[in-house]
A and B are shown apart, each in its own frame.
Chain A
Amino acid sequence: MKSTEEIFALLKEKFGDAVLELNTKLPKEAVIEVTPLKVTDICWFLRDNEELQFDNLILLTGLDDDNGEIVKLEDGTTETKGGTLSVVYHLESMKLGHKIVLRTTTGRENPEVETVSKVWACADWHEREAYDMFGIIFLNHPDLRRILMPYDWEAGYPLRKDYKNPEFYHGMKVPY
């Protein structure tokens, strides 16, 4: 069983600049920040290293950080320009009993993160959901389609903070 600090030191030694920082400022959970285009390698290491053995991906969460610039459009509504989207990974080792939280941040305009669906099979659907809700593109994902919303949904990604719902879908009125 290892603490987050020890795991961070191990990762920093192995991956250098790809592991950005250990964020312990927020209460309750310490977060290891990593770069989005190295996630797969880091996760393979986390899973297969004898001392770590993170065999279980508990949860993969998409997040809209809501830190962009809010622009007023002509029709009176607002839109967010710039800013970031994040993906948070909760990992656990069932054998050794330790847990960590990884977080990777990517730009909102062209959000690209490497997939971990080869490392943990359950990440497949989690990533599809994050794509569906936030539009985060997971590079090398085997089957990146919408999962909960209809396949032909064109109005954007619903859980982004500046999402606007369409008036009609297939002739059905959507608002109340």
Chain B
Amino acid sequence: MLKTEQMVLNMGPQHPSTHGVLRLELELEGEIIVNVKPHLGYLHRCFEKHCEAMTYPQIIPYVDRLDYLASMNNEMGYAIAVERLLDIKVPERVEYIRVIMAELQRIASHMVAVGTYGIDIGAFTPFLYLFRDRERILTLFEKTCGARLLYNYIWVGGLSHDLPINFVNETRDFLNDFKKTVIEVNNLLSYNKIFIERTANVGVLNVESAINYGITGPNLRASGLKWDIRRNDPYSIYDRFDFEIPVGEGLHGQVGDCWDRYYLRVQEMIQSIRIVEQALDQLPEGEITSALPKRIKPVEGQLYSRVENPKGELGYFIVSKGQLQPFRVKVRPPSFINLSVLGELCKGHLIADVIAILGSIDIVLGEVDR
């Protein structure tokens, strides 16, 4: 009699394809996944404890370090949350610059997602092409505020600096060049036969379980639901721009598979280009700070405010007791919630598909563990 038993395999915390320090405990039946148990917390940096000890403006540098690929979006979400708590409006120019920065950052974040996903599957070249172009976005940011990755740029009630000279033209140049890169990446990776074979029909997520798991952002839209906070619960000035919300169509397999999730990010980059172009056209002159009290001290109350991050719905739940420091800040981290569906998606797939599925969810461990 041949006896078989399940094997437990550890993946991570040091593993080239876990996108950071995630540990997965895989229970295997031969090469088939029976169960996946993620173990988190290897990057738990006590964000919420820091918030209770810092004043409202001091929290912004820590907010940067949540999802470090999308710092601008994090800052924008936090600034909007505090502004709603304080009931203040920011000048027009600030709103436009914020949108430009947020959308450029969305492009940069998706570049990393798409590039590293290529590496995970085995294609190295798109990574180099995308990082080459990402450097140009970072250079634009650096000219604006002096930092490449973690900016501390969007402040409560305004911005730290105005745009530098010639920013508009340089951004336009970049966008025009980047349109060609998207076509190149599509030819190299998206429509590549090997890539499609590895990702189509793998890790299919249907809409019902996506909603039940609280999945948001590109992952939810790839499952076929048109849900984008920029449209469904508009914030800032997103209602002024004309852009589409791409949804997964299942071009090479079922709706909501890894290829759909990947391709949705490519399409979102194109939409972000459109938004930035419109914002650059309409960019008004004006102040970059609004009149703020010297000590930011919201009245007692609580508020949940959310924005659309590259990874999904980023929300801040702030409880104020009328002090200089918030009583409690809780983040709704999109990556953390998106990751919880991993076990469900991996069941019944081969061990090599775990990499493909994990990469397609696009997590950032800084946000998963906070």
Direct touching of A and B (C-beta under 8 Å): yes
Q: Which A residues form the contact surface with B (CB < 8 A)?
A: 26-29, 31, 55-59, 61, 63-64, 66, 88, 90, 94, 97, 101, 120-122, 124-125, 133, 146-150, 158-159
Report the nearest A residue to B330, measured CB to CB.
Answer: A61
Contact of A28 with B212 at beta-carbon distance under 8 Å, contacts A59-B330, A101-B304, A159-B49 already known: no
Residue B183 lies at the interface, judged by CB distance under 8 Å to chain A:
no
Q: Indicate if the CB atoms of B41 and A150 lie closer than 8 Å.
A: yes
* 17 pairs, A vs B, C-beta closer than 8 Å: A26-B300, A27-B299, A29-B302, A58-B304, A58-B315, A59-B317, A61-B328, A61-B330, A90-B315, A97-B232, A101-B304, A120-B212, A120-B214, A121-B209, A122-B337, A125-B337, A149-B44
Residue B319 lies at the interface, judged by CB distance under 8 Å to chain A:
yes
Q: Which B residues form the contact surface with A (CB < 8 A)?
A: 40-41, 44, 46, 48-49, 84-85, 209, 211-214, 225, 227, 232, 299-304, 306, 313, 315, 317, 319, 327-328, 330, 332, 336-337, 340-341, 344, 369-370
A-B contacts besides A55-B211, A133-B48, A159-B49, 10 pairs, CB < 8 Å: A26-B302, A31-B302, A58-B315, A59-B304, A61-B330, A97-B232, A120-B212, A120-B213, A121-B344, A122-B214
Contact of A63 with B319 at beta-carbon distance under 8 Å, contacts A28-B84, A147-B40 already known: yes
- Looking at the assembled complex, report how far the CB atom of B240 sits from the nearest CB atom of chain A, in whole angstroms: 22
The SS class assigned to the B binding surface is mixed
Report the nearest B residue to A59, measured CB to CB.
Answer: B332
Q: Give the residue of B213, B232, B313, B319 whose beta carbon is less than 8 angstroms from that of A121.
A: B213
The SS class assigned to the A binding surface is loop
Q: Indicate if the CB atoms of A61 and B317 lie closer than 8 Å.
A: yes
Report the nearest A residue to B328, measured CB to CB.
Answer: A63
Contact of A121 with B340 at beta-carbon distance under 8 Å, contacts A58-B315, A88-B317, A148-B44 already known: yes
Q: Give the residue of B317, B328, B370 whose beta carbon is less than 8 angstroms from that of A90.
A: B317
